[in-house]
Amino acid sequence: MLAKDVIQRVREIQVRTGRQVADVLAGQYISVFKGRGIEFDEVRPYVPGDEIRTIDWKVTARLGAPYVKRFVEERQLTLMLMADISASQDFGSMTRSKREAAAELCALLAFSATFNDDKVGLTLFHGGIEQYIPARKGQKHALRVVREVLTHESRFVRDSIGHSVRSGHAWPWLTRRAGRFGWQTGRQATNIGGAMEFLLSVMKRKSVCFVVSDFFDEGYLRAMRMAARKHDVIAVLISDPREWELPNVGLISLLDPESGRTVEFDTSSAAACSVYRKNARQRIEVLQSEFRSAKIDFIHVDSSQSVVDPLARFFRMREKRRQRLRGCFCLPV
């Protein structure tokens, strides 16, 4: 994209998602994601009805009147967005690509976090880690996150001895990590497991992590399960309608943008299209089942539809689950 096109696209996303956050998502976000605990705020005079255990005896003795400690929830969170920018994300059969839908979803989450004074970070990955932006606050930082997801182009190349290097940039810290995890380079691959290992290496404190991808990869579930033990991991599947339904246009050639392989497919064959739909449906069902077994929440986003609705449904589901758990713990003995 040209610079002017980038600015215009980011502004469009900012205006649209900003309104949606203010109207729909901000309250749901704050009710679903809680901070790490409670922290001391102040002391105030005791009033009848206050619990005796909250009395600050040192202040009470010094001032000669009862005072109690007041605590507030430590609300601040760290939101980490793990966005897949591999070649398959560039596919789009309708008004936008899967990557554009991912950028809008990341914008909704980033602006929701900014609205609630939380930190937002970003990791762009494909076969390797392309870019890591540490978590910070502020709308300007959130806009940068949106811009990078939307427009970032891979700049990884492979040198003559097979080491991963970043062309035009000296980034040895990231290069060492890429070599350590054995990641591939370039956007013609997806390594979700490596991205999860990277998350564990850079995020020492618990965070809320959204993994936004089409999940055309294998062998990553173990790494995601390990990450979910420390972080609140949510898997977001971005898919295109043509990935589960093809129009009847006769014989076509399908290209895998990551492997470069092509296959001939007869869209006029009812039997072939039925198998195609069945396999696509089974793939989504298997993903849901695997993530459920790993205790990872799952969101499915259709790139041709609104990204607000599935996100709002997810927030409502999380809130209902929290209420059920709270009710279980409050049952009388």
Question: What tens digit of pLDDT does each residue of 63-117 get?
Answer: 999 999 887 655 578 899 999 999 999 998 888 899 989 988 888 888 888 888 8
Q: What integer pLDDT is reported at residue 170 of this predicted model?
A: 30
CA angle 190, 263, 266 (to 5 degrees): 130
Residue 333 has pLDDT above 70, yes or no: no
What is the per-residue pLDDT for 23? 58
Q: What does the alpha-carbon distance between residue 309 and residue 269 come to, in Å, rounded to a whole number?
A: 34
**pLDDT value for 82:** 96
Distance (Å, rounded) from C-alpha 59 to C-alpha 74? 23
Q: Is the dihedral of CA 183, 186, 191, 195 positive or negative?
A: positive
Which DSSP letter does residue 157 get? E
For residues 227-241, give the mean pLDDT.
95
Give the pLDDT of residue 59. 92
Q: 11 pLDDT exceeds 90? A: no
Which backbone phi and psi does 291 adopt, to 5 degrees?
-70, -35
Per-residue pLDDT for 10 more than 90? no
Q: Collapsing DSSP states into helix, strand and coil, what is residue 290?
A: helix
Question: Does the pLDDT at position 178 exceed 70?
Answer: no
Q: Which residue has the higher pLDDT, 104 or 329?
A: 104
Joined together, the tokens standing for residue 223 give 């790494």
Check residues 152 and 281 and name the one with the higher pLDDT.
281
Q: What is the pTM of this model?
A: 0.75
Mean pLDDT value of segment 37-56: 82
What does the pLDDT read at residue 189? 83
Mean pLDDT of 8-15: 65
Q: Which residue has the higher pLDDT, 40 or 156?
A: 40
pLDDT over threshold 70, residue 3:
no
Tell me how far apart the alpha carbons of residues 42 and 52 are, in angstroms, rounded to a whole number.
16
| Rounded to 5°, angle at Cα 20 from 102 and 26 | 95
Q: Tell me the longest C-alpha to C-alpha distance in the chain.
A: 89
Taking the CA atoms of 255, 256, 258 and 261 in sequence, report the sign of the dihedral they define.
negative
Residue closest to 206 by CA, chosen among 46, 34, 36, 81: 36
Report CA-CA distances (Å) from 155 to 40, 129, 212, 214, 257. 47, 11, 21, 21, 17
Say whether pLDDT at 228 is over 90: yes
Distance of alpha carbon 252 from alpha carbon 264, whole angstroms: 6
Residue 174 has pLDDT above 90, yes or no: no
| CA distance linking residue 209 with residue 125, whole number of Å | 14
SS (H, E, C) 185-246: CCCCCCCHHHHHHHHHHHCCCCCEEEEEECCCCCCCHHHHHHHHHHCEEEEEEEECHHHCCC
Arithmetic mean of pLDDT over the chain: 80
User: What is the pLDDT, as a whole number, of residue 205?
Assistant: 86
Q: Return the structure tokens found at 176.
A: 């060492």
User: Per mean pLDDT, which range of 12-16, 169-173, 208-212, 237-241 is the poorest?
Assistant: 169-173
With 80 as the cut, is the pLDDT of residue 40 above it? no
First to last CA, the chain: 63
Q: Across the strands, what pairs with 78?
A: 119
Torsion sign (Cα): 213, 90, 304, 263? negative
The confidence band for 208, taking pLDDT boundaries of 50, 70 and 90, is: very high
Fold exhibited by the domain 3-14+77-240+295-329:
Rossmann fold (3.40.50)
The pLDDT of residue 155: 47
pLDDT computed for residue 162 by the predictor: 36
Chain segment 260-303, per-residue pLDDT in tens = 889 899 999 999 999 999 999 999 999 999 999 999 999 999 99
